[in-house]
A and B are shown apart, each in its own frame.
Chain A
Amino acid sequence: MESFGYFNYWLAIVIIMIGFYGVIARRNLLKQAISLGLFQTGVFLFYVTMGVYRSPDGTSGVAPIWTDAAKTGPFDNPLPHVLMLTAIVVSVSTLAVAVAIIVSIQRKYGTIEEDEILEADKRDS
């Protein structure tokens, strides 16, 4: 059961790895960019699930804003969520820059397949 207790981390890491695989294995530049987005999303999930606080018996905790220790219950630490808000913006910006570059590549090369681009470069030089 101990490993099942980490299932959120398993999920995050599986998503990260799917994205990572896509970045490495796909030869289409747009698919690489999408995989990159997935890769980053896995990390966001990792952060967000990290913010969930439970005491060791798995039922409750005391949120830091409560001064009254009786108000127990599962709570979420807002800090990782806020961090991920910023990181999502960063990730969207990255995707925007990537798509912009891919559009320019499509205009200049007429393709966004990596091997065809490499071939075109080889012909040039």
Chain B
Amino acid sequence: MAANNQPESGGEQMSQQTLLRVIAKMTIPFILTFGCYVILHGELGPGGGFQGGVIVAAAFILYGLVFGADELRRRIPTSIIDACMALGALLYAGVGLACVLRGGTFLDYGMLKPDHAGDGEALGMSLVEYGVGLTVASVMVTIYLMISERRATLRKGEVS
């Protein structure tokens, strides 16, 4: 794209460096695993969807930093990230709606398993955390992609 017109600090140069590439490739799986752990563990211990989602997003952002945002965008198309954003929030709202359909009020987790209200609550909370995690991760990636976007929107003579 129009990247060549202006000096860029990210992208091209960084992906040339072997050390960065190797380290990034080595750490990204661990970051993702840890992020998923924080999300999965969230309904009982410290952590949860927000924190875990940000950690998962950090893995993607690291990939984008090292290999360039364009490469990241090629790997996961923005339409899919947009869909994930909605999907996560829908999971949250869907859990709430499922409670209504089972005869409770909105977000009344206990109704998910009327025989074992405690299990229902754990189930509802976990699902909600997964939804939050998905949304937060995709929102963070979107923000990174959007800010790093190098779309040439400046018209001629507009820059002072």
Q: Does A34 contact B (CB under 8 A)?
A: no
Q: How far is the CA of A100 from the CA of B149 in the complex (A)?
A: 11
Q: How far is the CA of A59 from the CA of B27 in the complex (A)?
A: 48
| Cβ A100 vs Cβ B158 within 8 A | no
- Prevailing SS type, chain A contact patch: helix
The answer to whether B158 touches A108 (Cβ under 8 A) is yes
* Residues on A with beta carbons closer than 8 Å to the beta carbon of B101: none
CA distance A94 to B118 in the complex (A): 36
Q: Cα distance A85–B47 when bound, in Å?
A: 12
* A/B pair count, beta carbons within 8 Å: 25
Contacts of A116 in B (CB 8 A): 160
In the complex, the answer to whether B160 meets A110 with C-beta atoms within 8 Å is yes
Distance (whole angstroms) from the CB of B117 to the closest CB of chain A: 19
Give a binary string over A98-116; 1 marks a CB under 8 Å from any B CB, 0 the rest: 0110010001111100001
Does B154 count as interface, using CB distance less than 8 angstroms?
yes
Chain B residues lying within 8 Å of A120, measured Cβ to Cβ, are 160
For chain A, the count of residues having a C-beta within 8 Å of the partner chain is 13
Instruction: Give CA–CA (A73, B154) in the complex, Å.
Output: 62
B92 CB–A CB distance under 8 Å = no
Residue of A85, A108, A111, A116 with most chain B CB atoms under a 10 A cut-off = A108
The dominant DSSP class at the B interface is: loop
CB-based nearest B residue for A103: B147
Chain B residues 106 to 160 lying within 8 A of chain A, measured CB to CB, are 139, 143, 146-147, 151, 153-154, 158-160
Q: Which of A85, A89, A100, A111 contacts B160 (CB 8 A)?
A: A111
Q: How far is the CA of A47 from the CA of B149 in the complex (A)?
A: 38
Contacts of A103 on B, CB cut-off 8 Å? 146-147
The number of residues on chain B lying at the interface, defined by a beta carbon within 8 Å of a beta carbon of chain A, is: 11
Contact present for A89 and B153 (CB under 8 Å): no
Q: Counting CB contacts under 8 A, is A96 at the interface? A: yes
| B146 CB contacts on chain A under 8 angstroms | 100, 103
Complexed CA–CA distance, A20 and B160 (Å): 30
- Does the CB pair B159–A110 fall under 8 Å? yes
Measured CA separation A109–B146 after assembly (Å): 17
Complex: A116 Cα to B158 Cα, angstroms: 13
Instruction: Say if the beta carbon of B60 comes within 8 Å of chain A.
Output: no
Within the complex, the shortest CB–CB distance from B66 to chain A, in Å, comes to 22
Closest B residue to A120 using CB positions: B160
Tell me the A residues contacting B by CB distance below 8 Å.
Answer: 85, 89, 96, 99-100, 103, 107-111, 116, 120
